[in-house]
């Protein structure tokens, strides 16, 4: 049945979502001669990228990518690494701020540069408008359109509630993942997904994934894995301005136990991996145990340029998180036992950790202890209860290295492309970065969409007249 629409517009390329991947896709397509319609359903542009620290980083080499993300899609990872320098040069040429010197060992292995993400997003939109395109907020894409052979555009509801049909030769899905969709999270992650704290823009609820499925795309690996950081538990408030300061980035320097008083992961894997690991522990909660040395060093240092020196433990306490402080580890264990944690088991866990760490690392109670691990030793000692959060999901739409959406047999779906957190498998438990992969995969999809529009002889006329 044909749905009555209030207006018909024409574009060469429609980009759904205005985060870093959507902005890069729209900008790239526009600079290649396409008339672009960049549609954002929220009232502001930028998605979760606008809430980020602005670090443009990823794996320094394919080998580093393989080590950190052994389950990742190597074809996507290799292309990401290969295209990083070109993308960085493009940002520098745009005039936006990009740091002169790189930061190394980001998330234990990455390399990248501090940038002005707000300026990057604005520059992308300016490029779209300069090329005759349109950028709109408050515009929700309801569904993809097709003629039985290819995707032919989208049906959208604008800020005034009117139905607008966009006829286009190519559509790029960049809606930011499905972290806001509790049904999808529970389906793929499990019951404890209900306990995940949303550390994201509220609009990423799987729109791209659902539309792509309806168009016939195949799924990917990594559907149960995601990016986020540990946050104190409980907390009185968690608004966008709290996302960065509330993150307990230093957790890799602590002893991390579950509510049974047991270690369950090698802490040195890094906070974003510990965040996932604790999701599958009882009640999706854990306790960080550390000493004054950690609090005064890793616990307060600037993890990314621009975040500032912050006592993250103190901020968690101020926000209402359960915590304990003591002059001795014995007294700290007694305090934590008062939370219902098994005190005898926790004592044994700490003793084994100290023993194995003193021997240069190994395995304690079945869990690795890294070489060079430093047990708590300098009082006062601290305990902080934490919970996992989710910023974006790692699974999603299956694509190739040109950004084309693929069906279950690996064949491109004509006219459909995807990028950023809407695609799946580039990160998989291990994390390859957010802004740089989003921007680079957006460039892939934008370039391919522009080529498709050119091949289809798209008119590129953003006519506003209703039919």
Cα separation, 64 vs 185, in Å, equals 29
pLDDT above 90 coverage of the chain, percent: 93
Does 465 score more than 70 pLDDT? no
Q: How many CB atoms lie within 10 A of CB 465?
A: 8
What pLDDT does 456 receive?
Answer: 83
Does 172 score more than 80 pLDDT? yes
For residues 419-447, give the mean pLDDT: 98
pLDDT bucket at 305, cuts 50 / 70 / 90:
confident
Does 277 score more than 80 pLDDT? yes
Q: Are 389 and 279 in contact (CB under 8 A)?
A: no
260 burial type by CB count under 10 A (0-12 exposed, 13-18 middle, 19+ buried): middle
pLDDT bucket at 338, cuts 50 / 70 / 90:
very high
DSSP secondary structure string for all residues of 87-115: HHHHHHHHT--B-SS-EEEETTTEEEEEB
Q: Are 381 and 289 in contact (CB under 8 A)?
A: yes
Q: Which of 145-149, 204-208, 456-460 has the lowest mean pLDDT?
A: 456-460
> Would you state the torsion angle of the CA atoms of residues 165, 396, 210, 411, taken in this order, to the nearest 10 degrees?
70
Cα separation, 410 vs 422, in Å, equals 17
pLDDT tens digits, one per residue of 441-454: 999 999 999 999 99
Cα separation, 153 vs 9, in Å, equals 10
3-state secondary structure (DSSP) of residue 96: coil
Mean pLDDT taken over the chain: 95
For residues 5-16, give the mean pLDDT: 97
Element of type H or E holding 418: strand 412-418
More confidently predicted of 15 and 3: 15
pLDDT bucket at 464, cuts 50 / 70 / 90:
very low
What pLDDT does 2 receive?
Answer: 59
Does 458 score more than 80 pLDDT? no
Angle between helices 20-31 and 117-130 in degrees, nearest 10: 30
- pTM attached to this predicted model: 0.95
Classify domain 229-387 at the CATH topology level.
Answer: Flavocytochrome C3; Chain A, domain 1 (3.90.700)
pLDDT bucket at 159, cuts 50 / 70 / 90:
very high
Sign of CA dihedral 409, 412, 413, 416: positive
pLDDT bucket at 467, cuts 50 / 70 / 90:
very low
Does 365 score more than 90 pLDDT? yes
Distant-in-sequence, close-in-space partners of 111: CB < 8 Å, separation ≥ 6: 57, 58, 59, 60, 102, 103, 104, 105
What pLDDT does 460 receive?
Answer: 52
**Any idea what DSSP says for residue 11?**
-
Unique residue bearing structure tokens 């990016």:
227
pLDDT tens digits, one per residue of 27-39: 999 999 999 999 9
What pLDDT does 304 receive?
Answer: 74
Domain spans of the chain, in order of start: 7-222+391-455, 229-387
CATH 3.50.50.60 given to domain 7-222+391-455: yes
Distant-in-sequence, close-in-space partners of 350: CB < 8 Å, separation ≥ 6: 255, 289, 329, 333, 375, 376
pLDDT bucket at 308, cuts 50 / 70 / 90:
confident
Distant-in-sequence, close-in-space partners of 163: CB < 8 Å, separation ≥ 6: 3, 4, 5, 6, 7, 142, 155, 156, 157
Distant-in-sequence, close-in-space partners of 305: CB < 8 Å, separation ≥ 6: 55, 99, 103, 114
From 79, 78, 84, select the one nearest 58 (Cα to Cα). 84
pLDDT tens digits, one per residue of 60-93: 999 999 999 999 999 999 999 999 999 999 999 9
3-state secondary structure (DSSP) of residue 68: helix
DSSP β-bridge partners for residue 263: 257
């Amino acid at each position: 049945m044909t749905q009555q629409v209030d207006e018909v517009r024409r574009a060469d390329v429609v980009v759904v979502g205005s985060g870093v991947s959507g902005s890069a896709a729209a900008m790239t397509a526009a600079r290649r001669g396409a008339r672009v319609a960049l549609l954002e359903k929220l009232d502001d542009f930028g998605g979760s990228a606008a809430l980020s620290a602005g670090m443009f980083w990823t794996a320094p080499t394919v080998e580093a990518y393989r080590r950190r993300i052994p389950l990742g899609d190597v074809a996507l990872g290799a292309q990401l690494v290969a295209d990083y320098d070109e993308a960085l040069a493009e940002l520098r040429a745009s005039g936006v701020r990009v740091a002169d010197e790189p930061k190394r060992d980001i998330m234990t292995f990455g390399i990248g540069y501090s940038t002005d993400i707000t300026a990057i997003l604005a520059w992308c939109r300016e490029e779209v408008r300069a090329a005759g395109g349109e950028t709109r907020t408050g515009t929700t894409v309801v569904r993809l359109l097709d003629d039985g052979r290819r995707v032919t555009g989208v049906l959208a509801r604008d800020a005034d509630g009117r139905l607008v049909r966009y006829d286009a030769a190519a559509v790029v899905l960049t809606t930011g993942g499905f972290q806001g969709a509790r049904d999808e999270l529970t389906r793929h992650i499990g019951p404890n997904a209900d306990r995940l704290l949303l550390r994201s823009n509220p609009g990423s609820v799987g729109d791209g994934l659902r539309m792509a499925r309806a168009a016939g795309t195949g799924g990917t690996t990594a559907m149960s894995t995601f990016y986020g950081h540990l946050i104190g538990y409980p907390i009185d408030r968690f608004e966008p301005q709290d996302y960065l300061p509330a993150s307990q980035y230093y957790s890799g320097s602590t002893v991390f136990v579950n509510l049974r008083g047991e270690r369950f992961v090698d802490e040195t894997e890094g906070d974003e991996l510990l965040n996932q690991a604790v999701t599958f522990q009882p009640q999706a909660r854990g306790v960080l145990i550390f000493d004054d040395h950690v609090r005064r060093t890793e616990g307060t240092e600037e993890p990314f340029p621009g975040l500032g020196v912050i006592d993250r433990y103190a901020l968690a306490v101020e926000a209402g998180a359960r915590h304990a402080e003591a002059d001795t580890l014995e007294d700290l264990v007694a305090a934590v036992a008062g939370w219902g944690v098994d005190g005898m088991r926790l004592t044994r866990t700490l003793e084994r950790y100290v023993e194995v760490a003193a021997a240069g690392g190994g395995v304690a109670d079945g869990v690795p202890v890294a070489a060079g691990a430093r047990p708590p030793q300098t009082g006062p000692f601290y305990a902080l209860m934490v919970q996992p959060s989710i910023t974006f999901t790692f699974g999603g739409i299956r694509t190739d290295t040109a950004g084309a959406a693929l069906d279950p047999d690996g064949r491109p779906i004509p006219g459909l492309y995807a990028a950023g957190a809407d695609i799946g498998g580039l990160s998989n438990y291990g994390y390859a970065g957010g802004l740089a992969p989003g921007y680079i995969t957006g460039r892939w999809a934008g370039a391919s969409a522009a080529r498709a529009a050119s091949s289809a002889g798209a008119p590129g006329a953003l006519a506003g007249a209703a039919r």
